[in-house]
Amino acid sequence: MKLKGDVPTGVRVDRDEYGVPHIRAENLTGAYWGMGYCHALDRGMQMSLMRLLGQGRVSECLQATDETIETDIFFRRMNWAGRTSEQVSQLTPDTRDLVDAYCDGANTQLARRPWEFRILGYRPEPWSVDDALLMARMTGYLTLAQSQGEIERLFVEMVQAGVDDDRLEALFPGSTSGLDRNLLGQVVLGERIVPEGLKWGGAAPRMMASNNWVVAATHSATGHALFANDPHLEVNRLPNVWVEQVIELPDDTVITANMPGMPGALVGRKRDVAWGATYTFMDAVDSWIEECRDGCYRRGDNFEAWTERRETIFVKKGEPVEVAFYENTHGVLDGDATEDGFHLATRWAPSESGAATLNAVTDVWGASTAGDLQHVLGRVETSWNWVIADSEGHIAYQMSGLCPIRNPAATGFTPMPGWDSDWDWKGFVSPEALPRCFDPPSGVIVTANNDLNYLGESSPINMPMGDYRARRIEDVLTEAPCDLATFRRLHVDTFSLQASEMMGILAPVLPDTGVGRSLAEWDMSYDLESTGAVLFESFYRELILEMFAPGGFGEVVINHLLDVTGIFIDFYANFDRILTAPSSPWLGERTLESVYRAAFDRVSDDGRCWGDVNHVVFENILMGGKLPRWAGFDIGPVALRGGRATPHQGQIYESAGRKTSFAPSLRLMADLGDDVMHTSLAGGPSDRRFSKLYTSELDRWKRGGYKHLRRLAR
């Protein structure tokens, strides 16, 4: 590939047979320049859209609608594009030099505007170190930490709706300790989960769930450590959130999947070590009740002035929108500080972070063992489960993230009194006290957004996902010594332990009818040809309605939560605990069997299979839905195998007026005894519709195939 512009000495880029760029450089500075250049070359539009979204400038630069203005207000509230100067000063000299090289490479290519931006009249500004920090902040929050804040907000709404303590405690164990219902009843909520107010921009990826696992050499059929990762993100977007690159240095080769605009190797492998990530559902979001009076907030016996931040949202072909935000040590106020009363202020721990993350990502290049990476990745400020395997046969796990040290009486659900400093955060848990392990006796480490608190001195997770996927993967990996063929089967495994356990309760009450027999004979797998999966999903929805609607939610609210929020997507384990318990406050005088029978009686069979109902259109992040399908910007419909609780997830739901999904956006696996990374991407290398690389990977991904990335012959 001929590079344009002022190219550093010794930098060369070639594409392999799959279109993946191989960046050859004599040193890391050249590698970062090439990384930035290729990000802008292959995903320049995606980078620019994400930046505009994070800056809250979509209405100014692209198009202005009520929805884009609302989205801009949300991102201005988060203020991820602000307060960066202190973080920039905390970058190590090596990191700063590398990020600057990345920006130089990106800007060499960003000067050439995509034709879509020409039509819209937008010229991207040069990429900067501030933009890299913005990307680091956005990546760890959107629909990840955000979901933690939403479930805590839903808890407040449930209290205000009169759901009693017994039902709350059954659903959220430990949540009602010290609960002051009278005080919470006085809190004025500006943003509500019911109804949901936020309309998301299409450029922002929804990041939901993931699997990763490693197997030690002692338990591997090959005699070497094995590694796998499959981040489950929103797949029905083009381009994919991930972009693959191979960095070839004189003494090593790094095969990585990273994110456009974010300098560094985020997941992948080097010659001697591989690493991957899943989200950990760390509770890094808290709210405080603030007593507002005369534009001030109560602190002890006094009232102090809010820090007021005024933002101007410029509107294309319209009048600017002025917005005021009020902040204190507890975050941003939900509401107007000039309105007397009780309001919530909410803070996400890494909201002003970024430097330590970029420094850690820089140190990945010098790590060569599982122990090295365990130390390095533990310093990342956003919350991830990292699994690591090395060529010596060792495996490791490390949780990362800024986990607040709270008052011991804090529940993680109930907002804390903002006027009492005893409820302020007291720093953050050290990486060494977070869940972690090295070479466990089992020889296997699996994470799937499940509860891993038992591996740490602290307990950072209070709302994990269900452990069905993790248990299924562990069962398969521990049956016998495994190899990459085992991993291939797991990557497309659609067996549901959730369905298996619930069917154990339902089976005895199934009638001898067509629907009853179909469910009784179902193999618990969400294959595309399965009719049982359709029937079970219909039953599961009716079961949720039958159990929770009479006990305080109501049918309208349950349908809203199911249809247009991620509450039952992320936190189904809490609801499943009630749905499978033989006794519960939510049952009242009913029996569990009677609830199951009533839910099943509303299930009918229309003859459709899972592939008929579980499909999405892959839409372009800028032009999606705006042009006819034949124009080729949008692809599909594409049927997704799997469900919420299967190793290969294929969950689809409605979010803020558009269909979204989570499924394996990327599959990675490696045997540390060789130099290959086996990968599959839901999309292609390029964000250019008229490039042959726009969806070049999609067919391989759909059939569960892999490409093989390694160092190119010189």
pLDDT of 656 reads: 57
Q: In this structure, what token pair is assigned to residue 693? A: 């690389």
Cβ neighbours for 561, distance < 8 A, ≥ 6 positions apart: 193, 194, 553, 567, 568
Burial class (CB in 10 A: 0-12, 13-18, 19+), 426: exposed
Residues 358 and 263: beta-carbon distance below 8 Å: yes
**pLDDT at residue 201 greater than cutoff 70:** no
Mean per-residue pLDDT of the chain: 91
Q: Dump pLDDT digits (tens) for 90-146.
A: 999 999 999 999 999 999 999 888 888 888 888 999 999 999 999 988 877 765 556
Scanning the structure block, which residue is given the tokens 């990384």? Answer: 35
Instruction: Decide if 210 contacts 449 (C-beta within 8 A).
Output: yes
pLDDT at residue 230 tops 70: yes
SS (H, E, C) 455-481: HCCCCCECCCCCCHHHHHHHHHHCCCC
Residue 330 binned pLDDT confidence (cut-offs 50, 70, 90): very high
The stretch 523-536 carries a mean pLDDT of 97
Measured CA angle at 17 (ends 14, 20), to 5 deg: 55
Summarize pLDDT for 3-53 with one digit per residue, the tens: 888 889 999 999 999 999 999 999 999 999 999 999 999 999 999 999 999
pLDDT tens, residue by residue, 600-635: 999 999 999 999 999 999 999 888 888 888 899 999
Structure-block tokens of residue 699: 């067919």
pLDDT in tens, 342-370: 999 999 999 889 999 999 999 999 999 99
Please choose, from the candidates 368, 365, 373, the residue with its C-alpha nearest in 3D space to the C-alpha of residue 397. Answer: 373
Average pLDDT, integer, range 478-494: 96
Mean pLDDT value across residues 662-684: 96
